[in-house]
Amino acid sequence: MLREGGYPLAVCGIAGYVGPRGSVEVVYDQLKRLEYRGYDSAGIAYLNGVDIKVLKRAGKLSNLGELLGDVPNDTHLAIAHSRWATHGAPTDLNAHPHFDRYEQVAIIHNGIIENYLELKEELARAGHSFHSETDTEIAAHVIGAEYAQGVPLEEAVRRAVRRLRGAYALVVISRKEREKIVAARNASPLVIGLGEGENLLASDIPALLPYTREVVILEDDRIAVLTREGLRILDLDGKEEPIQPIHIEWDIAAAEKGGYEHFMLKEINEQPEVIHQCLAGRIDERNMIRFEQVFSEHVWNEVDRVNIIACGTAYHAGLMGKALFEKMLRLPTDVFHSSEFRYGDPVLSPKSLAIFISQSGETADSLAALRLCKDRRIRTLGIVNVIGSSIARECDRTILTQAGPEICVASTKAYTAQVLVLTLLALHIAQVKEMPGVRPAEYVKALRGLHEHAARALELEPSIIDLAERLHRTPLIFFLGRGPDAHVALEAALKMKEIAYIATQESPAGEMKHGPLALVTEGVVAVFGATCASLRDKLVSNMREVQAREGEVVVVTTDDDTITPTSADHTLRIPGTGFEFLDALLSVIPLQLLAYHVARLRGCEIDQPRNLAKSVTVE
């Protein structure tokens, strides 16, 4: 049931307990059960005598564990958080929970408060000062200010969330109302576990299962009030709502994957949410791009060349970046494999910008290439998923992809977020430089609906399963395209070879007759990307070349294409956005699913393919 419509992206881990057991022990155990998703710091708040006591530490969960020795075991209400940082480095100070100004409430949060800078300025004018760099502390102060009016905690939270824009699952406890935990949710996951004389909450079901299988999924714009005896759910007008628990049958291993068979499938399905999250706070009401902490206007006017440096999937995202930068900005851009760049004695203009793309932020060749650029005094910009990673720290500036932890070795959602950040960056530069002919606002409108298009692309899964049945024994699969589709073809081929262990041949479709066509014989499959409308006629000739040699043709295209499907043996149609790059980007989704289902039918070890590691920290 939860699988329908995807699974909400849980970036940080949230836990909470009220009941007769030692609450700190319970919430620490809950955090351990969320450990598989990755985190960079963790903290706990519990009621202690007349106070709220907060313990937090950067780094491993065991660092926090070391602080728990002196915690009394008669504390019966606690909340806990493991953080995957989005605002502010992973330090002790930035770790949650955070207090309000008066230390009357402590909160933990998963998500991004998009208007936190506005709120922070407003609070600062009213005399508030802050201890961390987080958006969460701002939310704590907003709630605390309402609470100081003397209303019940749930009323303070209800009033405060009306002022917050963005995604949040917020959990709040108070010094005065010592029997309740209040939670609020908008677009970030929050689940509540109903026990006997005890209640719990968490960002993800595995953290509830050892205690209960009766679960309530908190809906958006709802406030939950948990006590030992029960649960109340209120809407944003304060009206009480009926409670509808569901019974969870999954075992813990299945629950970690949100009910999916593999992390890869979960991560593919998270992409609508990843798109949403990656855009959060970066596009404003006027359809302008807003990036904090990138270079100022004079830098963009000075940069005369961009070099994008990355490995594997991130390199493929870089190719999309080159196409965007050259087409939209007429800015000469090269893309290098990190391993070639670092040993290649590259020619670097002093006015150039080097962009490093990396999911992990720890890839050895990319890091070495970054250090080479720094030695040569070249400006550097990171596009990284893991905050606090080496590349994120060492680049002059870093933009986070905000894709959440990626656990499957084969990268899927990180690629989508990387291309999206490159798109936002190109639009941002176009905006700053007032590029003639580029209308960032039009693009931004399409970006707003992109997550819905991604969700519709995921709906192709049943036809992809049928296709995978037909293809999974083929010895060789071609991945071909023109324009941006040619770059997506490289990524689709990488997915197929790394998880399904099928040999692939990938190139721009126009290169076929310069050699690779010799490999086409009966039984060989060629997958064409055809989202680029202006090049479809050319593709049709390539498709016929394959069919003339008894190869089978699959085409991935947009729903308005009347040209290529007539020449294909199988067609997968994604919804068109009206923008070629975005259509090409979305076309990766069915191709990821195809690799997944082929691998599954071939009985492959999908999440941990042979010979590969998630983070390549050695040469």
Question: What amino acid positions are annotated as catalytic residues?
Answer: 12, 614
Residue with Cβ nearer ligand F6R (38 or 65): 38
Least separation in angstroms between CB 404 and ligand F6R:
14
Residue with Cβ nearer ligand F6R (63 or 615): 615
Least separation in angstroms between CB 366 and ligand F6R:
5
Least separation in angstroms between CB 322 and ligand F6R:
17
What is the C-alpha to C-alpha distance for residues 154 and 233, in angstroms, rounded to an integer?
10
Query: Cis before residue 440, ω within 30 degrees of 0?
Result: no
Residue with Cβ nearer ligand F6R (388 or 576): 388
Bridge partner residues of 471 (DSSP): none
Least separation in angstroms between CB 359 and ligand F6R:
3
What is the C-alpha to C-alpha distance for residues 26 and 24, in angstroms, rounded to an integer?
5
Least separation in angstroms between CB 315 and ligand F6R:
7
Report the Cα 380 to chain-centroid distance in Å.
Answer: 23
What is the C-alpha to C-alpha distance for residues 210 and 543, in angstroms, rounded to an integer?
54
**Whole-Å CA distances, 558 to 269, 553, 573:** 20, 16, 5
Nearest partner of 594 among 471, 414, 450, 416, judged by Cα: 471
**Those residues with Cβ within 8 angstroms of residue 365's Cβ, 6 or more apart along the chain or in another chain:** 311, 337, 338, 339, 342, 616, 619
Q: Give the residue nearest to ligand F6R (CB).
A: 312
Residue with Cβ nearer ligand F6R (216 or 403): 403
Binding site for ligand F6R (CB under 6 A): 311-314, 358-360, 363, 366, 410-411, 494, 498, 615-616
**Whole-Å CA distances, 520 to 526, 539, 553:** 9, 16, 11
Least separation in angstroms between CB 591 and ligand F6R:
12
Cβ-contact 536, 530 below 8 angstroms? yes
What is the C-alpha to C-alpha distance for residues 554 and 575, in angstroms, rounded to an integer?
17
**Whole-Å CA distances, 618 to 364, 374, 609:** 5, 20, 18
Residue with Cβ nearer ligand F6R (494 or 586): 494
- Report which secondary-structure segment, H or E, holds 244: none
Least separation in angstroms between CB 414 and ligand F6R:
6
Residue with Cβ nearer ligand F6R (573 or 600): 600
Which structure tokens are listed for 410? 């084969």
Residue with Cβ nearer ligand F6R (411 or 504): 411
Q: ∠271-272-274 over CA atoms, to 5°?
A: 60
Residue with Cβ nearer ligand F6R (183 or 335): 335
**Phi/psi of residue 6, each to 5°?**
85, 180
How far apart, in Å, do the first and last CA atoms of the chain sit?
Answer: 44
The DSSP 8-state label assigned to residue 193 in this structure reads E
What is the DSSP annotation of 410-450? S-SHHHHHHHHHHHHHHHHHHHHHT-TT--HHHHHHHHHTH
Q: For strand 503-508 and strand 552-558, is the pairing parallel, antiparallel, or unpaired?
A: unpaired
Least separation in angstroms between CB 103 and ligand F6R:
40
Cβ-contact 317, 384 below 8 angstroms? no
